[in-house]
């Protein structure tokens, strides 16, 4: 696996791959890799002849009081993980190369970026959209792979790509979970043993919502209340939000009748975790639902 440390070199490498007629897949990450990330690589490996992963902890998507400084970083381990997963090239740019002095151009997908994660983390999605657009410009991949774990993020990226006519197809991959249901996340490393047990409460709340839906409940308030009750029963958990939103706009819905997400953000101690359940009618207008947890 080639390790590429500058934007100029990355552009040259990608240009050469395109000239050879290779199909390029990009997997953007912030490192501290786990099986959620390697699942994205595995999907890219299946669909592309040249797989490029990036590791960049993007300062622009962290708030001033967030964990930018202490975000886990272990490039040596990440490089081994990605090499073993079959990545061809790893892009690890310097922050000063991505954001040189005088940098002042940002992308913001309006509306959806201000809701839920955007409301709790002002400026977060502006940072995400900006860095992802830069990565898509630098690499110009045919396909770019993202996890549904960050459902609002991948929706925003898809809108940006459509609005700005970016020639990359965004591929959304399923959530990878631990055996007890906890969604894999680099931030799980912050949890103490006790908090790690408590963290399963997010998955439990989503399973509860699914059970209510299976029992015929369609009222969003009732589903939200059911999730809230599970979270509130866990002493180490503090709810940020539990909502039922439309899968396209992330605006709240009154009733589940079209594709929706049940979305959760919960503090376990000082660690903020998110998770979601995708709810879809089996066919348009149908009362039967399929779930993606």
- Asked if residue 184 binds ligand AMP (CB under 6 A), the reply is yes
Q: What's the helix, strand, coil split of the chain in %, to 5?
A: 40, 25, 35
Q: Which residue has the tokens 């886990």?
A: 72
What is the DSSP code (8-state) at residue 26? E
State in angstroms the smallest separation of the CB of 148 from ligand AMP: 7
- Asked if residue 30 binds ligand AMP (CB under 6 A), the reply is yes
In this structure, are residues 231 and 237 in contact, taking their beta carbons and an 8 Å threshold? yes
What is the DSSP code (8-state) at residue 59? G
State in angstroms the smallest separation of the CB of 283 from ligand AMP: 26
- With CB under 6 A as the contact rule, the residue among 7, 26, 36, 117 that binds ligand AMP is 36
Nearest CA to 164 among 95, 106, 99, 114?
106
The number of residues that bind ligand AMP (CB under 6 A) is: 17
Instruction: For residue 2, give the H/E element and its range.
Output: strand 2-4
Distance of CA 165 to the CA centre of its chain: 22
- Asked if residue 38 binds ligand AMP (CB under 6 A), the reply is no
Of residues 17 and 184, the one with the C-beta less far from ligand AMP: 184
In this structure, are residues 207 and 283 in contact, taking their beta carbons and an 8 Å threshold? no
- Asked if residue 161 binds ligand AMP (CB under 6 A), the reply is no
State in angstroms the smallest separation of the CB of 19 from ligand AMP: 28
Part in contact with ligand AMP (CB under 6 A); list of ranges 6-14, 33-41, 103-111, 267-275: 33-41
Q: Which residue has the tokens 């591929």?
A: 171
Tokens of 138: 């630098």
> Which positions from 118 through 157 interact with ligand AMP, judged by CB under 6 A?
146-147, 149-150
State in angstroms the smallest separation of the CB of 284 from ligand AMP: 27
- Asked if residue 183 binds ligand AMP (CB under 6 A), the reply is yes
- Asked if residue 26 binds ligand AMP (CB under 6 A), the reply is no
Residue nearest to ligand AMP (CB): 147
- Asked if residue 268 binds ligand AMP (CB under 6 A), the reply is no
- With CB under 6 A as the contact rule, the residue among 144, 166, 176, 273 that binds ligand AMP is 176
- With CB under 6 A as the contact rule, the residue among 175, 223, 260, 274 that binds ligand AMP is 175
Distance (Å, rounded) from C-alpha 94 to C-alpha 43? 27
Of residues 67 and 219, the one with the C-beta less far from ligand AMP: 67
Q: Which residues are catalytic?
A: 37
Bridge pairing between strands 289-292 and 271-281: antiparallel
In this structure, are residues 175 and 185 in contact, taking their beta carbons and an 8 Å threshold? no
Tokens of 135: 């990565």
Distance (Å, rounded) from C-alpha 268 to C-alpha 192? 10
The residues binding ligand AMP (CB under 6 A) are 29-30, 36-37, 39-40, 146-147, 149-150, 173, 175-176, 183-186
């Amino acid at each position: 696996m080639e390790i590429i440390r500058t934007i100029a070199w990355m552009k040259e490498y990608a240009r050469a791959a395109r000239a050879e007629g290779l199909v390029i897949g990009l997997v953007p990450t912030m490192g501290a890799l786990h099986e959620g990330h390697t699942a994205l690589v595995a999907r890219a490996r299946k669909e592309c002849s040249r797989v490029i992963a990036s590791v960049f902890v993007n300062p622009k998507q962290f708030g001033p009081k967030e964990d930018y400084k202490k975000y886990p970083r272990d490039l040596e381990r990440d490089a081994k993980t990605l090499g073993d997963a079959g990545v061809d090239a790893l892009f690890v740019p310097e922050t000063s190369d991505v954001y040189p002095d005088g940098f002042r151009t940002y992308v913001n997908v309006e509306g959806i970026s201000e809701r839920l994660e955007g409301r709790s983390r002002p400026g977060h999605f502006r940072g995400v959209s900006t860095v992802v657009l830069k990565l898509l410009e630098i690499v110009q991949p045919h396909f770019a792979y993202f996890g549904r774990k960050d459902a609002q993020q991948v929706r925003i990226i898809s809108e940006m790509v459509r609005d700005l006519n970016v020639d990359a197809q965004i591929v959304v991959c399923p959530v990878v979970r631990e055996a007890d249901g906890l969604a894999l996340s680099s931030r799980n490393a912050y949890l103490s043993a006790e908090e790690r047990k408590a963290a399963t409460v997010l998955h439990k709340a989503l399973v509860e919502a699914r059970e209510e839906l299976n029992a015929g409940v369609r009222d969003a308030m009732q589903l939200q209340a059911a999730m809230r009750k599970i979270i509130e029963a866990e002493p180490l958990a503090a709810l940020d939000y539990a909502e039922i939103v439309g899968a396209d706009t992330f605006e709240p819905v009154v009733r589940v009748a079209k594709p929706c997400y049940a979305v959760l953000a919960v503090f376990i101690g000082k660690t903020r975790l998110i998770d979601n359940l995708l709810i879809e009618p089996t066919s348009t207008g149908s009362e039967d639902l399929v779930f993606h947890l």
